[in-house]
A = this chain, B = another copy of it.
Amino acid sequence: MSTSADERAARLLLSIVGEPGDPRVAALVDQVGPADAVDFLQARGRRGELGAALAQRIAAARPEETLAQAERRGLRFVTPADPEWPEALGDLDQVPTLHERGGTPVGLWLRGALRLDEAVAGSVAIVGARSATTYGAAVAGSMAADLAEAEVAVVSGAAFGIDQAAHRGALAARGTTVAVLACGADRAYPTAHQALVGYIAETGLVISEAPPGGAPTRIRFLARNRLIAALALGTVVVEAAVRSGALNTANWADALSRTLMGVPGPVTSAASQGVHRLVRTRNALLVTDAADVLEAVRPVGRQPAGSGTDRFLRPRDALTALEQEVLDAVPVERGAGADRVARAAGLPPETVARTLADLHAAGFVERSADRWRLVRQEPFDAPAEKEGGEFVG
């Protein structure tokens, strides 16, 4: 029987000697627990494939030294037994491997003062091309800033391009941002981002599955991408060429049943092609700003309904696009039945009936004898005319 200290020591060793996201390690831990997994690899398992692969690393490992060194560099090691371990990571055990990476990490190395579970609760990942255009970087930056202002943490990978713009946008808005690295959490890749990663650690969190000092390798980027997707409620891809690594994160988000979103761009821009493909073939949601993202990741009751006067505190601009379309079709003076509103809006009757009920709850429309009309005192702006007075060709 292993104590929790034994478990922790075993996970520490496995984190140091195993490759991030190696599904064989995760499966072994899942089957026999971390302590027996270490025993197995050190003794009986040495003749097995995995034991042989890790034998040299196991022999060379000095876990206590690594841990002490990590602490000197401001890192801590957390495991699924720690209270701050996010439940969301458990979903990784439920999905197949991608590019031969997968499974729950045996542990994570953290740099930063925040609790991991609190830092990533309700977070959104923004990822995309390293070779971003100025358009993509601007969109990623302002989306991240707006999410941060809405107290949604922004998760990304601290790469050039979109990742950098997303972290910076969140930092500029004094929000929480979380960087998940393929190298050790004490390093930065690209090295030009050492300062950026440092800022993130000061107010947010830097995370890695690789041990301190670990180098960024191709396979570790693939393993890292699964953590970004798993930690966030949804992943927004802002620019990605057709073969961009960001699409690997998108695949993970999709496999993990997280909300997959994409920001469109000019069809003439190669940097947007991968995103358009995600929308076309993967049912990624098209999102154009932070409001669209919030609507997607908080679909129900995203605002407390409120009552009395405060139900008017929700401005018309905070309505969803659908709600606005329906509202535009509701008459000001004489009321109209839901069917007639549906025809005027060109929307399915059942959708309109449901939306009218929401608009009613929010205080935008009133009902009498099955006829809907705008409330007179709608405080924010007058209903715009649906089609302008000029020719609408």
Contacts and interface: CB of A to CB of B under 8 A. Distances in A.
B346 A159 contact: no
B289 A285 contact: no
A393 B189 contact: yes
A61 interface: no
List the 6 shortest-distance A-B pairs measured between CB atoms, nearest first: A245-B392, A264-B264, A251-B346, A267-B288, A159-B393, A279-B286
A267 B389 contact: no
Nearest to A142: B268
Contact of A393 (B135, B157, B285, B320): B157
Given A263-B267, A264-B264, A267-B264, A245 B393 contact: yes
Interface in A157-198: 157, 159, 163, 182, 189
B391 A218 contact: yes
Interface stretch (A5-13, A78-86, A145-153, A380-388): A380-388
A357 interface: no
Q: Which of under 10, 10 to 19, 20 to 34, or 35 or more describes the interface residues of A? A: 35 or more
A286 B276 contact: yes
Contacts of A251: 346
Interface stretch (A45-53, A91-99, A300-308, A360-368): A91-99
Contacts of A388: 243
A259 to B, nearest CB: 13
A111 interface: no
Interface in A108-166: 130, 135, 138-139, 157, 159, 163
B264 A391 contact: no
Nearest to A269: B266
Given A159-B393, A216-B391, A243-B388, 7 more contacts: A97-B343, A221-B392, A221-B393, A222-B387, A252-B346, A280-B285, A280-B288
